[in-house]
Chain A
Amino acid sequence: MYKGGKIIASLIIFVGLLTIPFFYNMGKVNAGPEINLDTPAILALAPADQQCVESPEVMKANHMQLLNQWREAAVRDGQSVYINSQGKSFEISLQNTCLNCHSTEAEKASVTGGMSNPAFGSTQFCASCHDYNAVQPLCYTCHIGSKEAAK
């Protein structure tokens, strides 16, 4: 081969770049995020009622679109009730609905401290998943806990 050394070195670098994901994750457990659904609000419900706003499959993939829909319904159309596909109704509110179920007592306590919305920031429910996929919802720049505290 002409200039064989350089060509082979470049090929090794190329293949090396492709193996980054392998070495980066090597030896780690491919477990995914730990999603904690044992919050007091959920446990307080009857087992048959321990359901999310929509089916878990829909929620996993589409919750951001649902939130977008809620936001539009609340802010633009002035609606306050969402009726889900099973005919159950929910108050349209990030704080009082989603985070009421999906946050622990400790997080609710820190809300009164006027901190930024703990459910986004903590390793709890929303954030556990978002960190895993590097999603950084911008909502919490406005939807901070002090809004709740004032109520």
Chain B
Amino acid sequence: MKVLFSLLAVIVLILVAIMGAYTTSLHYTFGIIIPYLALTLFVGGFIYRVVKWGRSPVPFRIPTTIGQQKSLPWIKQNKIENPTSTLGVIVRMALEILFFRSLFRNTKTELSQGPKGPILAYGSAKWLWLGSLFFHWSFLIILIRHLRYFLDPIPFSIQILESIDGILQIGLPAVYLTDAFFLIAVTYLFLRRIFIPQLKYISLAADFFPLFLIMSIASTGVLMRYFYKVDLVAVKQLAIGLATFQPVLPSGIGAMFFVHIFLVSSLFAYFPLSKLMHMGGIFMSPTRNMISNNRMVRHINPWNQEVKYHTYEQYEDEYRDKMKKAGIPVEKE
């Protein structure tokens, strides 16, 4: 049901895109207005979400660690997994962001029937980590490769990236490795939500929708590159026009381009509303980005109430006369 709903939503988007692509009078809307709207929503929404997160208080140190804490001098500290310096935190964050360190520690739990009753077994589960790594890195490389439509002249580094990506030299234009990796990885990420019962149970429409949307973007990109070709010179003029805020709409681009860019715009507009915000969120995860100095430094809750003290001396000053009269001993005469 949740799968069907997401699939239908994406199909509707694709139909809208196709309608726009085949209606020449709508090309300005689909090629220029909608991308600008989407970009505005993306940047505005992204900043809004991050600032909103930033405003929520972080009272205590809550790092989760998997390494030896700094302790007695003869006990070796794990400086990266349990950092007490900023550098350590930076390394930990870098490992998390670039190589998904936490996901690497993913485990699976299995209950099986042994000869002497049920056996509970824990094992490492690296497939999700591998799939995610391929997915995210391919996505990043594909994104960077797209800069060739936005930069003129094209920097050498992007040309290098492109030639490495097309190193197999299969077909004309050459097949990109990342395209294949990306499609395989996103299919895996989808199938895993369908075939693992526990995962299927907790998956929501908000999990399937981005997957379908990303799949449709990748597929239209592949179709556009290898099958329904478009005029890339015109595409680049449009892209640079968008980037420099002097939009132009060259004629004869080809329908597939408008389908592709509409789906990309949908993703950008949807981004800040969705779980995809983990792109910004990962930088703000308090269990990862804090120095583990819980015991070395006293951390005071920032919203603690100011406590009013009334010391014994003040008390005695106030009641000295009465105390003396009642015969209670006082410290100061």
Contacts and interface: CB of A to CB of B under 8 A. Distances in A.
How big is the A interface, by class?
Answer: 35 or more
A68 interface: yes
Interface string B215-244: 000000000000001111110110111011
B302 A25 contact: no
Interface residues of B, number: 49
B285 interface: no
Contacts, number: 102
Interface in A8-66: 10-11, 14-15, 18, 20-22, 24-26, 28, 30, 32-33, 57, 60-62, 64-65
Given A25-B243, A30-B244, A64-B172, A134 B233 contact: no
Contact of B246 (A18, A30, A62, A136): A30
Given A2-B57, A64-B173, A134 B148 contact: yes
A145 B121 CA distance: 68
A26 B154 contact: no
Contacts of B240: 21, 25, 30
Q: At the interface, is chain A mostly helix, strand, loop or mixed?
A: helix
B97 interface: no
B169 interface: yes
B50 A30 contact: no
B279 to A, nearest CB: 9
Given A11-B47, A18-B43, A33 B233 contact: yes
Contacts of B239: 21
B130 interface: no
Contact of B158 (A3, A22, A25, A134): A134
Nearest to B279: A14
Nearest to A12: B47
A25 B244 contact: yes
Interface string B35-75: 00000000100110011001111100000000000000000
Given A22-B243, A134-B158, A15 B233 contact: no
A129 interface: yes
B57 A132 contact: no
Nearest to A35: B233
Nearest to A28: B152
25 contacts: A2-B55, A2-B58, A7-B50, A10-B50, A11-B50, A18-B43, A20-B147, A20-B151, A21-B150, A22-B243, A22-B245, A25-B152, A25-B244, A26-B244, A28-B152, A30-B237, A30-B240, A30-B246, A32-B233, A60-B233, A68-B171, A132-B236, A133-B148, A133-B149, A133-B154
